[in-house]
Amino acid sequence: MPYPIHRPRRLRQSPAVRRLVRETHLVPSQLVLPLFVREGLTEPLPVSSMPGVVQHSLDSLRRAVTDAAAAGLGGVMLFGVPAVRDAVGSGADDPRGILNVATAAVAQEVGDALVVQTDLCLDEFTDHGHCGVLDARGRVDNDATLERYAAMGLAQARAGSAMLGLSGMMDGQVAHVREALDAEGFSDTLLLAYSAKYAGAFYGPFREAVDSQLTGDRRTYQLDAGNGREGVREALLDVEEGADVVMVKPALPYLDVLAEVRASVGVPVWAYQVSGEYAMVEAAAAHGWIDRRGAALESLIAIRRAGADAILTYWALEAARWLRDDL
C-alpha cells in the first residue's frame, strides 16, 4: 500500500504544535462572571443546586469582584435578590434597592478594571416571578413593562452600571430603554440585548439562586426551542433598535443559533452558559463520571468556536486560573 500523502496528524504531534495551530482561543478577558447579591445577608449563602456559587452579602460581593478583576476577567453581571417583592417590582428602580446599592459599591470598587453589568429584568423583584407587570387577566403586559424597564435602566445607570443586560424579552425593549437613557444624558451606557433567549429546562438552578417566585412559565415571551430563524430575527431587530451587544441564551443547546446570529449581525455576540449547563457538569463530576476541568473548558471552547465573542459563565474565575496554568 502507498504511504498517505496527507498527514493531518503532523499538526497534533505535540502540545507546542497544537497550541501554535489552534483555531479557537479562550482568554480570561472573554469571560463574564454572574454574581448574586441578596438583601440582608451578612455572610455568603451557598446555592445548593450550583456547587461553588453563593448568594453574596455586600461585603463578600466586594471581595468577589476584586478577585474577578485580579483574574483579568472581562466583567461581572450582577443580579439582585430583594427582601420584599411586589406586583410591579418596585425594588428594581429604588435607589436603595439591593441591586442598585450593590451596583454602586461594585462600580466604586472595580469600575475601572471591569465592565460592571446589571441584569435589567423584573423577575427577581416581582411577587409573581414574571419578567414584567401583569394585566387584569394575568398576562404579561408588554408595553406597561417597557415603562418599568426604562425606570429600572435609569436607576442602574445612575448607580454606575456600564452595561445594562436587557433579559426580559419584551418587544421594543432596546429602543425604549435606549431612548430613556439618551434623554437623561446616559448615551454612553451600553445595552446588552438578550435577543435569542429560549424558554426551557436549563434555568432551574438559577431560580433557586434568585429565590424566584415564578408560577407558570415564560413561553409567551421567551423563544420556543424549535425556532432557530426566530432567534436570528430577534437579534437583527435588537441591533436595529440600538443594541451594542446581542446575546444567545442558553449556550450549548443553541450553538447553531449562536453561529447563525454571529454570521448575521455586525455587533459583538455573547452567550450565557446558564445554570443548568453548569449544574449538569458539576453533578456528573461529583459522581466521578466526568472530568470537571476538562468538560468545563471544552464547553467554553465550543461556545467560542460557534461564534461567541464573550461568555457569561459561573466557571469564569476558575477558568481564568486554568487558562493561566495551561500557558
Please state the three-class secondary structure of 100-125 as a single string.
HHHHHHHHHHHCCCCEEEEEECCCCC
Beta bridge partners of 35: 78
Query: For 62, phi and psi rounded to 5 degrees?
Result: -60, -40
The candidate with the shortest Cα–Cα distance to 235, out of 190, 192, 202, is 192
Residue 109 domain-assigned (yes or no): yes
Residue 284 domain-assigned (yes or no): yes
CA-CA distance, 270 to 313, in Å (whole number)?
A: 11
Residue 22 domain-assigned (yes or no): no
- Please give the pLDDT value at position 216: 82
CA-CA distance, 117 to 274, in Å (whole number)?
A: 16
Catalytic residue among 38, 85, 197, 218: 197
Catalytic residue among 249, 270, 310, 320: 249
Residue 136 domain-assigned (yes or no): yes
CA atoms within 13 A on the CB side of 18: 7
- Please give the pLDDT value at position 232: 98
Q: Tell me the CATH number at 49.
A: 3.20.20.70
Residue 137 domain-assigned (yes or no): yes
Residue 161 domain-assigned (yes or no): yes
Residue 3 domain-assigned (yes or no): no
- Please give the pLDDT value at position 327: 67
- Domain span holding position 34: 27-325
Q: What is the pLDDT along the chain (327 residues), one digit of tens a residue?
A: 788 999 999 999 999 999 999 999 999 999 999 999 999 999 999 999 999 999 999 999 999 999 999 999 999 999 999 999 999 999 999 999 999 999 999 999 999 999 999 999 999 999 999 999 999 999 999 999 999 999 999 999 999 999 999 999 999 999 999 999 999 999 999 999 999 999 999 999 999 999 999 888 899 999 999 999 999 999 999 999 999 999 999 999 999 999 999 999 999 999 999 999 999 999 999 999 999 999 999 999 999 999 999 999 999 999 999 999 886
CA-CA distance, 36 to 273, in Å (whole number)?
A: 16
Residue 149 domain-assigned (yes or no): yes
Q: Please say if 197 is a catalytic residue.
A: yes
Q: Please say if 249 is a catalytic residue.
A: yes
The count of structural domains within the chain is 1
The candidate with the shortest Cα–Cα distance to 242, out of 156, 313, 309, 153, is 153
